[in-house]
Amino acid sequence: MWTLVGRGWSHGRALAVWAAGTAQRGRLEPLPTPTRGAPAEFRAWDRLYTSAERKEKIDMSRFSVENIRNFSIIAHVDHGKSTLADRLLELTGTIDKTKNNKQVLDKLQVERERGITVKAQTASLFYNWEGKQYLLNLIDTPGHVDFSYEVSRSLSACQGVLLVVDANEGIQAQTVANFFLAFEAQLSVIPVINKIDLKNADPESVEKQIEKVFDIPGDECIKISAKLGTNVERVLQAVIERIPPPKVHRINPLRALVFDSTFDQYRGVIANVALFDGVVSKGDKIVSAHTKKIHEVNEVGVLNPNEQPAHKLYAGQVGYLIAGMKDVTEAQIGDTLYLHKQPVEPLPGFKSAKPMVFAGMYPIDQSEYNNLKSAIEKLTINDSSVTVHRDSSLALGAGWRLGFLGLLHMEVFNQRLEQEYNASVILTTPTVPYKAVLSSAKLIKDYREKEITIINPAQFPEKSKVTEYLEPVVLGTIITPDEYTGKVMMLCQARRAVQKNMIFIDQNRVMLKYIFPLNEIVVDFYDSLKSLSSGYASFDYEDAGYQTAELVKMDILLNGNIVEELVTIVHKESASRGGTERGRQRIRSRLQALSCQPRAQCGAETCELQDHDLSQSWKLNRLRHPGAPRDKAHSVGKAICERLKDSLPRQLFEIAIQAAIGSKIIARETVKAYRKNVLAKCYGGDITRKMKLLKRQAEGKKKLRKVGNIEVPRDAFIKVLKTQSDK
């Protein structure tokens, strides 16, 4: 069905509109799989017009509160949430059943390219069962730890969840984290064991794991294959039977929670709302509890899964609302909306997301500053977990320091800026938020606080100004097959982690809990864990506050000039100063446990330590291998110099890359100069003439080296810290 037909639309007119839209926006957004049989290209055109112009409004009053179920699908990465959502959309007739329905709710280009969900998506399904028509509001959530904020927000609009677990992989770290989010929100949990069609599927043992870890009786698990559609109908029935309807009152004044929002450049903010009380319709004057600003509602509706305008939205329902909000301050996620002159007690809202990594973001060209500013503002409406502070750098000009929930989140945000807003940026080295406790009353007065948070390493205060430094820590959960436990523990110790707990979740799978310094896991811990466990171990973490740490600022210099954007804060391990006898004793006993000898006595070509990140096991290394890096700062400095060397293009002059702590150089690499063959034209000839030419070339290079501007490529900053492929 092509919705433009019958409304005075001709193919020609539609084409003109398409052309205008394309020219204005530069390109069309990637499209979800066409629904209701519409050709993909036509679905693009209909985005240019308000939903009201092209669709009949639906009457939502036919769904009484008792016939509404609001639920999320939660799971570990790749356990099949979006595939299950596809089947539920098909079963309820929301989309046509075609072979092309693959992760229909993953609408963003970045989601399609990376094959992961990064943004929670809502879909309202209409389903007839036992003679009653039900409204099932489904929210498909991301699985990756960086996007768990999306999960917790989605849960606020729900009364239950489908907890999907892969029948082959079993319970993984994000399964545990997501279960506890739902449990703490007191939601009904329906365990769904997916992928039973796989050859190695073992649904019975996964059932036992669910019983043991979550205390849910095994017979409550529904075993399905989302891919083949096996038993998916039972999931819908369980949603109706086991998830309670929302507890709301339609006769009370309006109380709507904004749990998500997106930005449309033609219509402004589209707020996703869950109505806890009352009714809302077009023309209503609503007030934001946060800004107290009054807005007139232009459109309300449900997502089916595309926008479907409705006459009204009623308490208990989940839908969208457009009210002419144009900027980020007017569209706060967690805000409560109420009717003008009918104030209500605001809903609790959400804990704001706590950024885990910060990085500087600058326009490639300063003339692009305003465009980039507006793009960042619009994208932060779509992704409220990003924090933005203004910043500037000598080399890169005016920009911002942005806070993200992890490195993947940072990369996805960057990719979305490029794909959705055509904005290219320079991103600087990511860092975690350290703290420093200031030592003197004068400093405290200057900074206006005793404890400052350092989100830019260039502003790291010297040791003389502080009484102590603090680093952020997280509580990490690792689930691994038992055979890898030893290696996993070694890796954790090398990352300065402290073990808190260890339990067997079945005969051969272990769940480990560690307190990690955030800095140790944020970049490549996950990759190391995956590689040492042949991909079987999974990892999730949550904030656990701060701990005292010995930190030092490490500068990176290119031909003697500090690259401010690459300044790094590193942990200075006690052993760098030789360590204590107790420390050395502990290391010896660890070596003993590994049946390994210290230093030169270790004759093994490969030993257990070498299977994982050797540079991180520096303490043990030093004891075993003479010449191993002396401390953490040395190994980090060396690694940064090496990676920078790989990403810097050769120039006409030599480039010295150095890592320094204060005035002490701790690592050095050299990028050799291109060498023009100045002797090419000398056929035979006098040796003194050749020497003269070579001398002149050397002098020229010396001069060039002094004035030469070393260009650091845009992606070099990320490459410097990130050695391996995407998480």
Instruction: Figure out which of the listed residues 70, 225, 429, 533 binds ligand GTP, where binding follows CB under 6 A.
Output: 225
Using rule CB under 6 A, residue 75 touches ligand GTP: yes
- 140 annotated as a binding-site residue: yes
142 scored as a contact of ligand GTP (CB under 6 A): yes
C-beta of 89: minimal distance to ligand GTP in Å? 12
Does residue 178 touch ligand GTP according to CB under 6 A?
no
Question: What's the closest the beta carbon of residue 142 comes to ligand GTP, in angstroms?
Answer: 5
The count of residues interacting with ligand GTP (CB under 6 A) is 20
Q: Is 613 annotated as a binding residue?
A: no
For residue 223, the minimal CB distance to ligand GTP (Å) is: 10
- 141 known ligand binder: yes
Complex with ligand GTP: residue 195 or 378, whichever CB lies closer = 195
Residue 389 is assigned to a ligand binding site = no
Query: Considering only 75-83, 412-420, 534-542, 583-591, which stretch makes contact with ligand GTP by CB under 6 A?
Result: 75-83
Buried residues in 391-403 as b, exposed as e (16+ CB within 10 A): bebeebeebbbbb
**Exposure of 238 in the CB half-sphere (CA atoms within 13 A):** 22
CB 228 to ligand GTP: min, Å: 6
For the chain, percent helix, then strand, then coil, each to nearest 5?
Answer: 35, 30, 35
Closest CA to 564 of 357, 360, 358, 721: 360
User: Of 158, 96, 84, 91, whose CA–CA distance to 127 is shortest?
Assistant: 91
Residue 78 lies near ligand GTP (rule: CB under 6 A): yes
Which CB atom, from 153 or from 295, has the smaller least distance to ligand GTP? 153
Question: Cβ distance 99 to 34 under 8 Å?
Answer: no
Q: Where are the alpha helices (DSSP H) in 283-422?
A: 369-382, 407-421
By CB under 6 A, tell whether 195 contacts ligand GTP.
yes
- The three-state secondary structure class of 343 is coil
Q: What is the DSSP letter of 422?
A: -
194 annotated ligand binder: yes
Rounded-to-10 torsion of CA 256, 258, 259, 262: 140
Q: Which two tokens stand for residue 325?
A: 């909000």
Residue 77 engages ligand GTP in binding (rule: CB under 6 A): yes
**3-state SS assignment for residue 492:** helix
Residues β-bridged to residue 438: 466
Determine if residue 264 is labeled as part of a ligand binding site: no
Q: Which stretch binds ligand GTP (CB under 6 A): 76-84, 282-290, 330-338, 368-376?
A: 76-84
Q: Does residue 148 touch ligand GTP according to CB under 6 A? A: no
The residue within the footprint of ligand GTP, chosen from 91, 198, 475, 562 (CB under 6 A), is: 198
Should residue 197 be labelled a site residue for ligand GTP when binding is judged by CB under 6 A? yes
Tell me whether residue 162 or residue 226 sits nearer to ligand GTP (CB atom): 226
Distance CA 99, CA 293 (A): 47
Residue 79 or 107 having the CB closest to ligand GTP: 79
**Which of residues 3 and 141 has its CB atom nearest to ligand GTP in the complex?**
141
Residue 453 marked in a binding site: no
6 assigned to a ligand binding site = no
Binding of residue 154 to ligand GTP (CB under 6 A): no
Among 48, 116, 256, 512, binds ligand GTP (CB under 6 A): 116
Q: Smallest Cα–Cα separation from 123: which of 141, 111, 110, 108?
A: 141
Q: Which range in 73-81, 252-260, 422-430, 484-492 contacts ligand GTP by CB under 6 A?
A: 73-81
What tokens were used for 120?
């929670």
Shortest spacing between CB 78 and ligand GTP, in angstroms: 4
Q: H-type helices in 67-189, by residue range?
A: 81-91, 109-114, 148-155, 173-184
Rule CB under 6 A: is residue 222 a binding residue for ligand GTP? no
* Residue whose structure tokens are 């079963």: 91
Token look-up 């957004």 returns 29
Site string for ligand GTP, 19-58 (x = CB under 6 A): ----------------------------------------
726 is in an annotated binding site: no
Task: Mark the segment that binds ligand GTP (CB under 6 A) among 220-228, 354-362, 400-408, 531-539.
Answer: 220-228
Whether residue 257 contacts residue 336, with contact meaning beta carbons closer than 8 Å, is answered with: yes
Segment interacting with ligand GTP (CB under 6 A) among 88-96, 189-197, 421-429, 628-636:
189-197
Closer residue to ligand GTP, CB minimum distance, 80 or 301: 80
Asked whether position 120 contacts ligand GTP by CB under 6 A, the answer is: no
Please say which residue, 151 or 289, places its beta carbon nearer to ligand GTP.
Answer: 151
Secondary structure letter of residue 79 according to DSSP: S
317 binds ligand GTP (CB under 6 A): no
β-strand pairing of 551-558 with 509-517: unpaired
Q: In angstroms, rounded to a whole number, what is the distance separating the alpha carbons of residues 31 and 399?
A: 32
Stretch that binds ligand GTP, among 152-160, 194-202, 580-588, 629-637 (CB under 6 A): 194-202
**Pair of tokens at residue 160:** 């239950």
- What is the Cα–Cα distance from 350 to 153, expressed in whole angstroms? 7
Residue 383 identity (one-letter amino acid): D
Q: Tell whether residue 226 is a contact of ligand GTP (CB under 6 A).
A: yes
Q: Does 122 bind ligand GTP (CB under 6 A)?
A: no
82 assigned ligand-binding residue: yes
79 in a known ligand binding site: yes
191 is in an annotated binding site: no
Q: Which of 43, 55, 81, 643 binds ligand GTP (CB under 6 A)?
A: 81
Q: Which of 432, 570, 522 is nearest to 727 (CA)?
A: 522
Asked whether position 113 contacts ligand GTP by CB under 6 A, the answer is no
Phi first, then psi, for residue 45 (nearest 5°) are -65, -40
Asked if 79 interacts with ligand GTP (CB under 6 A), we say yes
What lies within 8 Å, CB to CB, of 486 at 6+ separation is 608
- Cα angle 365-366-369, degrees, rounded to a multiple of 5: 110
Q: What is the CA radius of gyration of the chain?
A: 29
Spatial distance between the Cα atoms of 203 and 224, rounded to a whole number of angstroms: 9
Residue 226 or 432: the one with the smaller Cβ distance to ligand GTP is: 226
Q: Which two tokens stand for residue 187?
A: 């939601």
87 binds ligand GTP (CB under 6 A): no
Among 72, 103, 172, 384, binds ligand GTP (CB under 6 A): 103
Is 603 annotated as contributing to ligand binding? no
Whole-angstrom Cα distance, residue 625 to residue 128?
A: 70
Residue 272: closest CA among 286, 257, 287: 257
Q: Which residues contact 58 (CB under 8 A, 6 or more apart)?
A: 301, 302, 308, 309, 310, 311
> What residue numbers does the annotated binding site cover?
75-82, 140-144, 194-197
Binding interface with ligand GTP (CB under 6 A): 75, 77-83, 103, 116-117, 142-143, 194-195, 197-198, 225-227
> What residue numbers does the annotated binding site for GTP cover?
75-82, 140-144, 194-197
